[in-house]
Structure 1
Amino acid sequence: MRNWLKAAAAATLAATMLTGCSFGGNDGQGEKTPTSLKVMYYDESSFYQEYGMLFSALYPEIELQVVSTQSIYQSSGDGEEVDIEKRKQEFLEKEKPDILMLEMNEYEKMAQDGKLIDLNSYITKDKFDVEGLVPGMVDYMKELGGGQLYGLPSGFSSQVLFYNKDLFDKYNIAYPTDQMSWNDVIQLARQFPVEGSKEERVYGLRVGYSGDLNQMSTMIANAEGLNYVNPTTKEMTINTAGWKNAVQTAYDALKSDALYSEDPNNGMMGGTSYEDYLLRNPFISNRLAMTIDGSWFIRELEEAKNNVKDPSKLVQNWDIVTMPVSAQMPDTSSSTYYNNIFSIAKDSTNADAAWKFISYISGEDFARVKSKVAYNNGFSIHTKYIKDEEGRNFAAFYKLKPAKQLYDYTDFDKLPTQFSMMFYNYMNEEFMAIQNDEKTIDEALETLQVKGEELLAQESMTQEEIDEMWQKQMEEEQAKMQEAAGEAAAE
């Protein structure tokens, strides 16, 4: 990828020089004015690979200086609570970056605090085309900005529902459609037959990698805007009617045998070739009607087409629709996210040059070049470059807006450092007990509520203690896998 970007930058620069185009500012005499821009980003190397190399080739008169934000989020190592907001303010005061790379909740907060420059005047002056951008994106950014546009994303990511049209045709079942609810999708999955061995039968739906109760319940709960903890108030919120409904929906779906769940031994069985690896995915091997995945799965489908010798083993006719949604919020999805929002700091002395960077990164030329790099990192914000040569419904990737985030994710840093890891393990244990009919949903959620409250009352562990806990968990998981592999070999 690095070599490709270098080549693309060189080619773009050469084309610019050949056509005699002039970029950048000047002093009125045709001379370019040197400008230095400070860019707030998490890592200098990744910034240049993703953005800086192409921009610098086109605008050599603008010097980019990357100030890394990694120090903001580094643990103190002694278990003490880290005040991310305080660190961030100290960082901004010290470095004074012109361009800020923000996530959605950071963008919303800084816009509300009056720390960003409104981009509308620049857009009007330069006649920047917003019509070709992802529908609803600019309005959403204005909504977060209190009515003004203070930044533009450089891309977005989302998940969708892939479906096998041939299997739907074979069993005379209607295709899924955009904005179906979770209940509707599950009912669709249950129309497929459940007979046959696990290795050969057809399945209706796969949710996530493992497809277990924990993962599916969480995805349904997220669609409804539910979380298991309120990090701002440090209160557990898992023992609620909403969560009970989400878990019950997932439980009923799993018990119907319509859903595919990953065999933990799947990676240790069968052949060892790349073709064998690809065919282990039941959607690729034509045994799964629907699966939820991201844009990266398109690359895997293409890899299978190019590497599996017998085409009859592969899914041939597939398409996509939007991710299942909440019936109460059919236009939003918790799996849609606008990435790397670039804004201009209110006190920047180089706002014009900063806008030049943002307008290029958000513009069609950059989108055209970046569209050549598959779909591994999501999509451009220009719908013109989100298309499929075979006419598939790629609009499903951008039809849903991001769900409004209920909490600032930095508030999670205020929880004990061990909370997320340990509570996830508790969820796995309790949800597996539900799945195995060893506990009722009410019993498991009540237990999780209590265990979560106990974790929230603890002091944060030191980094050394966290590392020891990780190591112990990894050893236990490895022992379980070896035991399962031995049992599978014996059978």
Structure 2
Amino acid sequence: MDRTIINLAASRLTRRAAIATAGFGGLIVAACGGDAAPAAAPTAAKPAATAAAVPATAAPAPTASKAPVKLRVIERTPSEEEIMGLRIPIFMKANPSITVDVELVPSAELITKLQTMAASDTLPDNGHSYLGNQSYHNFALGKAFIDIESYIARDKIDLKQWFPALVELMRIDGKLHGLPYKGQVLGAGFYYNIDLFEKGGVAVPTDAWTTDDLMKAAQRLTVRQGNDTSQFGYSIQTWGGENLTAHLRAFGADPYSDGGKKSTLDSPASLEAFQWYENLFQRERVMAPLADTPALFVDGKVAMVGRAYFNFKTDPILAKVGDKFKWDGAMMPKNAKTGKRGGMFAGDGNSITRNSKAPDAAWELLKFMTDKEFGVGLALQSKGSTTPGGRPDVYSDERILNHPRLPKQTQKAQLASVTEINEPASLPYNFRAPDVEGTRDPEITKITTGGAKAEIGFLKDLNARIQVILDKPRP
């Protein structure tokens, strides 16, 4: 695994040799902050220069001189590499006694890296983790992340500046072990190829669309010669993990009830949801295989991508589609029966670790990395993850709504998603999301490939296996 050390105080970039990391029972990495996520005319423009992508703001007035402190931070490359290089120098200018060294690791290896460091008590001062897959919760339970309630009280921090759903998701037995770093409604995004709609003579989606409209359009926009499909009408970016909640909620279902203590995968509404997907995948054959969605959309062979992250527009679309075709985005169409779009608030957290020798300085950095300007900068990165900061004032900022490289309608839909689809997380009460997902997801994926039928017997058997996991104590 390559790692990069950015000594921002010295403004130098060096590449270190590969190091081995031990696996600790891999937690599933949340896609919401991943690299492949995601004007008047909706055609995506070419990426702007990196320096112009992030807001340039004046540094706060420097604080009083204190004893020198060095902080170490682990972040992802390329997910947050750009924002760290641009904003951390501003923090150090305002805090001249604090030097911040940023170690970059490949995005997919962040959690494993932190697990390995926790086992050897070599954690950095500040740690980035995920809420949807409960890696944050498990680090906190293992005392890798410290309780920050005393800091919040001392500085009279107004927690309302972050989305309440994210703050509540981060509470463990009433206490916070970090602050919301990034946030979004999972599975709320919906993208479409305008050129394919025009070629097929189909009206482009509107906010009034329902799943019935989606189905009809998918049928008309699927092109097949015999058993070979050259163009799919519909596809989905997400399926399992914490993302399954969005799929089920559109049908009035939920993976769990009783505060995450009971599995409800065998409810009538869940059955209806799985049968709807089975129909599109197996009988109508209008849905692209799960693994092929990003590549097929970029190649102009998929007309619509649903249940997407809003940052899907950046790397898979903006960076790769270029001027090949016109595209735009919206919120997911409403379910024709329930009127629900489906979604779940989740995101990433940032925390102070137990190994920090300068927790007061780490607290100042934590506040800086979760403030409005950092959150806007995250959303305006020209590469990596563009999931915005987990704050209402970030989503409503004019720099986001009038993004220089993205269709205005898409940006408005992103804002609407956090107000209209304001649904909290639904996760295991005992913080065993990785165990649940490792058991459940391979089985429900069989429904999409024809390897299993969406029948009540199948779901009851799977539900019983999940309940065994939910009945276990916390890790």
Q: Tell me if TM exceeds 0.5.
A: yes
1:254 aligned to 281, 290, 295, which one? 281
Task: Call closer, same or farther: CA 1:218–1:450 in 2, change over 3 Å.
Answer: same
Residues in 1 aligned to 2:77 and 2:197: alpha-carbon distance in whole angstroms? 46
Q: For residues 54-73 of structure 1, what are the structure 2 equivalents within 5 Å?
A: 57-58=89-90, 59=92, 60-63=96-99
The answer to whether structure 1 residue 164 and structure 2 residue 174 are counterparts is no
Is residue 33 of structure 1 aligned with residue 71 of structure 2? Answer: no
Contact 1:99–1:344 under 8 Å retained in 2:
yes
1:291 aligns with 2:305: yes
Q: 1:154: which partner in 2?
A: 181
Counterparts of 1:331-370 in structure 2 under 5 Å?
A: 333-334=343-344, 336-341=345-350, 354-355=363-364, 357-359=366-368, 361-364=370-373, 367-368=376-377
Q: Which residue of 2 aligns with 1:243?
A: 270
Aligned twin of 2:24 = none
**Matched letter for residue 300 of structure 1:** P
Q: Structure 1 residues 180 and 61 mapped into 2: Cα distance closer, same or farther (>3 Å)?
A: farther
Measure the CA separation in 2 of the matches of 1:20 and 1:304.
Answer: 33
For 1:150 and 1:446, locate their aligned partners in 2 and report how far apart those are by CA, in whole Å.
Answer: 36
- C-alpha distance in 2, partners of 1:45/1:305? 22
Distance of aligned partners of 1:123 and 1:248 in 2 relative to their CA distance in 1, 3 Å threshold:
same
The residue aligned with 2:17 is none
Counterpart AA for 1:445: L
The farther-off stretch of 46-55 and 405-414 is 46-55
Q: Secondary structure at the match of 2:203?
A: coil
Conserved? CA contact 2:232–2:303, under 8 Å: yes
Aligned partner of 1:57: which letter? P
Question: Offset of 1:175 from its aligned partner?
Answer: 2.4
Q: Which amino acid aligns with 2:314?
A: I
Give the TM-score, by structure 1 length. Answer: 0.56
**How far apart, CA to CA, are the structure 2 residues paired with 1:396 and 1:33?**
45
SS at match of 2:328: strand
Of 358-367 and 140-149, deviating more is 140-149
Does 2:323 match 1:301? no
User: 1:321: which partner in 2?
Assistant: 330
CA distance in 2, matches of 1:405, 1:141: 8
CA offset at residue 318 of structure 1?
0.7
Report the aligned-residue RMSD: 6.0
Q: Given the alignment, which residue of 222, 226, 232 partners 2:254?
A: 226
The verdict on how the C-alpha distance between 1:140 and 1:453 changes in structure 2, with shifts beyond 3 A counting, is closer
Q: What stretches of structure 2 of length at least 5 have no aligned partner?
A: 13-56, 104-109, 142-146
Deviation, 1:163, is 0.7
Aligned AA (1:185)? L
Give the Cα–Cα distance (whole angstroms) in 2 for the partners of residues 317 and 449 of structure 1.
Answer: 43
* C-alpha distance 239-50 of structure 1, shift in aligned 2 (>3 A): same
Q: Please state how far the C-alpha of 1:247 moved relative to its aligned partner.
A: 1.5
1:198 shift after superposition: 5.9
Pick from 149, 152, 155 the counterpart of residue 115 of structure 1.
149
* Counterpart residue type for residue 407 of structure 1: L
Residue identity over aligned pairs, in percent, reads 15
8 A Cα contact 1:36 1:63, kept in partner: yes
Deviation sequence 1:97-130 (CA, Å, 0-9, x none): 98675655768x99xx983544896678xxx996
* Alpha-carbon distance in 1 for matches of 2:257, 2:383: 36
Distance 1:430 1:242, change over 3 A: same
Q: Deviations over 1:311-362 (max 9, x none)?
A: 7xx4x1110012356676847623x5332245899xx997587346523552
- 1:427 Cα deviation from its structure 2 partner: 3.8
SS at match of 2:298: coil
Task: Check whether the contact 1:119–1:150 (CA below 8 A) recurs between aligned residues.
Answer: no
Could you list the per-position Cα deviations for residues 428-465 of structure 1 after superposition, in whole angstroms to 9, with x for gaps in the alignment? 45675576xxx56123223434555688899xxxxxxx
Distance of 1:414 and 1:47 partners within structure 2: 22
More helix by share: 1
Task: Please give the alpha-carbon distance, in whole angstroms, between the structure 1 residues aligned to 2:61 and 2:129.
Answer: 27
Determine which of 455, 460, 465 is the counterpart of 1:446: 460
Specify which structure has the bigger relative contact order, considering alpha-carbon pairs within 8 angstroms and separated by 6 or more residues: 2
Q: Is the 8 A contact 1:37 1:99 kept in 2?
A: no
Q: Is the 8 A contact 2:6 2:102 kept in 1?
A: no
**Paired amino acid for 1:25:** T
Task: For 1:214 and 1:55, locate their aligned partners in 2 and report how far apart those are by CA, in whole Å.
Answer: 32
**Map of 2:236 onto structure 1:** 207
Please say if residues 247 and 342 of structure 2, whose CA atoms lie closer than 8 Å, have aligned partners that are also in contact.
no
Query: Which structure 2 residues correspond to residues 380-419 of structure 1 after superposition, within 5 A?
Result: 380=389, 382=394, 383-386=397-400, 387=403, 388-401=405-418, 403-408=423-428, 411-412=431-432
Give the aligned residue type for 1:168: F
Partner Cα distance (1:431, 1:301) in 2: 24
Which residue is 2:29 aligned to? Answer: none
TM-score normalised by L of structure 2? 0.58
More strand by share: 2
Q: Using the alignment, how far apart are the partners of 1:225 and 1:177 within structure 2?
A: 25
Determine the C-alpha separation between the residues in 2 that align with 1:400 and 1:176. Answer: 16
Deviation, structure 1 residue 298:
3.2
Report the 3-state secondary structure (helix = DSSP H, G, I; strand = E; otherwise coil) of the residue aligned with 2:305: strand
The separation in 2 between residues aligned to 1:35 and 1:329, in whole angstroms, is 57
Residues 10, 122 of structure 1: alpha-carbon distance in 2 compared, 3 angstrom cutoff: farther
Structure 1 residue runs of 5 or longer lacking an equivalent are 12-18, 27-31, 75-87, 131-136, 268-277, 459-491
Q: Residue 25 of structure 1: SS of its match in structure 2?
A: coil
CA contact (8 A) 2:193 2:303 kept: yes
Distance 1:45 1:165 in 2: 32
Q: Distance in 1 between matches of 2:170 and 2:439?
A: 36
Over 3 Å counting, the alpha-carbon distance change for 1:255 and 1:48 in structure 2 is closer
Amino acid of the structure 2 residue aligned with 1:394: Q
Question: Residue 463 of structure 1 aligns with which residue?
Answer: none
Structure (1 or 2) with the larger CA radius of gyration: 1
Cα distance change of structure 1 residues 443 and 352 upon mapping to structure 2, 3 Å threshold: closer
